[in-house]
Structure 1
Amino acid sequence: MKLLQKALFIGLLSSSMSLIAGESEVLQAVDAASKHYEAGELSQAIAQLDYASTLIRQEKGEQVKLAFPAAPAGWQAEDAEAEVAGAAMFGGGISASRNYYNDEQRIEMQLMMDSPMLQAFSMMLSNPSMIAMSGGKLTKIQGLQAVQKLEGDQLEIQFLSPTGAMITLNGDKAVQSTMLALANAIDLKKL
């Protein structure tokens, strides 16, 4: 009986130590996927890997919110928000946004990354003729090629970060200089 109690105690101690050590859900899901794969349970393996990748995207989404700049003088900013789409929805990806406002104007900044849908924009941005045909005007943001489009009084600025994140700012043409200042203040290293 004492031998059984000792074995149970050691087993409980070992399992609690791994929990204390903080084995992440991501690693647990990857481990479960590996076991399902080895057992020939492919659907379960896929589900566990999808779960792990979604957890990683959620973690990255939280980190991405730190890339948004502070509100400029005379402006305020809402809290940044991030959303994660699993691989089953549009190939996955992360989107984040933050709104800036003052008494009269509003600027919306959006980030999208890790989505296969960004390839089309990347190809368009690398072709100045397509930009000109679509009514866009080329400019530079943090040394990167960007597009400004004006429809009525609404201005849109778009560019890609070196990591492939698409950054879009929307606002009234009257606040163009503030939009450009915000775009140049994004911490691209956090994307």
Structure 2
Amino acid sequence: MQTEPLPRRRGTRRPRRRQTGILWLATLNLLVGPVAADPIIDQIEAARRAYQAGDNAVAIQALNFAVAAIEAQQTEAQLALFPDPLPGWSADTAQAEMAGLAAMLTGKVLRRTYRYGATGAEVQITISANSPFLGVMSSLMQMPMLLQADPSTSLYSFGGHRGILKQEADSSELSLMVGSNLLLQLKGSGGADKDILEAYLQAIDIPALEAALTK
């Protein structure tokens, strides 16, 4: 007695295209790995959990870590706004001199030094932001009679911003107020004169700098 072959059950085999897609996703996960977590968000969440659990000390520590990390990100972006060296010049790594609680008293100070090896000329650019002492500089620029005692000092303006220019035999200094909370200072020595300072000043993206440091 012959038995009839059993009919093939439909739907027992997965379509080849779907299998290929699943294998591709699995391979991609192995290559990429898990998405890196944001350490700042992690610390904020840790602070929330600690606060809800009544552990205020841990919550404060986690929040302080998050604040410090955010400030570090801000500073890194701000330091990137220093101009590149002029042709033939070199530059040191830009530095931030104040951060954290100290910045509340003195403001944030960023600095970078540029050098021209052929002549020994040097230019130092200093950016001061949100310092309570900037009001003194702003007042000085609004009272020209205070500058008359020093013949090497004169009023200066650039791009609608007011400033002070000081020129001596082998050095020059240019100070420029941007709004009321940002001061640019360019100091030239070793033969770096007004023209060189202005070349560096023109290379600074002042609107971007103001937005990054005062807003």
Q: Which one is further off, 102-111 or 87-96? A: 87-96
Q: TM (normalized to structure 2)?
A: 0.63
Amino acid at match of 2:196: T
Dislocated runs of 4+, deviation >4 Å = 129-132, 150-153
Shift of 1:61: 1.9
Q: What SS does structure 2 have at the residue aligned with 1:166?
A: strand
Superimposed CA distance per residue, residues 16-68 of structure 1 (whole angstroms, 9 cap, x where no aligned partner): xxx93333222122222333333444443333333222212221222123222
Aligned residues between the structures = 169
Task: Give the fraction of aligned pairs with identical amino acids, expressed as a percent.
Answer: 20
1:23 equivalent in alignment to 2:37: yes
2:79 aligned partner:
65
Q: How does 1:32-181 map to 2 (within 5 A)?
A: 32-73=46-87, 75-83=88-96, 85-91=98-104, 94-102=108-116, 103-104=118-119, 105-113=121-129, 115=130, 118-129=131-142, 132-133=145-146, 135=150, 136-150=153-167, 153-162=170-179, 164-172=181-189, 174-181=192-199
- Relative to its length, the structure with more helix (as a share) is 1
Distance 1:23 1:62 in 2: 20
Q: Which one is further off, 154-163 or 139-148? A: 154-163
Q: Do the aligned partners of 1:26 and 1:55 also contact (CA within 8 Å) in 2?
A: yes
1:3 aligned partner:
none
Q: TM (normalized to structure 1)?
A: 0.69
Q: What SS does structure 2 have at the residue aligned with 1:54?
A: helix
**RMSD of the alignment, in Å?**
3.1
Q: Do the aligned partners of 1:125 and 1:131 also contact (CA within 8 Å) in 2?
A: no
Shift of 1:178: 0.7
Distance 1:142 1:23 in 2: 43
Shift of 1:139: 1.2
Q: Which one is further off, 130-139 or 29-38? A: 130-139
Q: What SS does structure 2 have at the residue aligned with 1:33?
A: helix
Distance 2:61 2:145 in 1: 44
Q: Do the aligned partners of 2:122 and 2:192 also contact (CA within 8 Å) in 1?
A: no
Q: Do the aligned partners of 1:112 and 1:165 also contact (CA within 8 Å) in 2?
A: yes
Distance 1:49 1:34 in 2: 9
1:13 aligned partner:
none
Q: What SS does structure 2 have at the residue aligned with 1:69?
A: coil
Q: What SS does structure 2 have at the residue aligned with 1:146?
A: strand
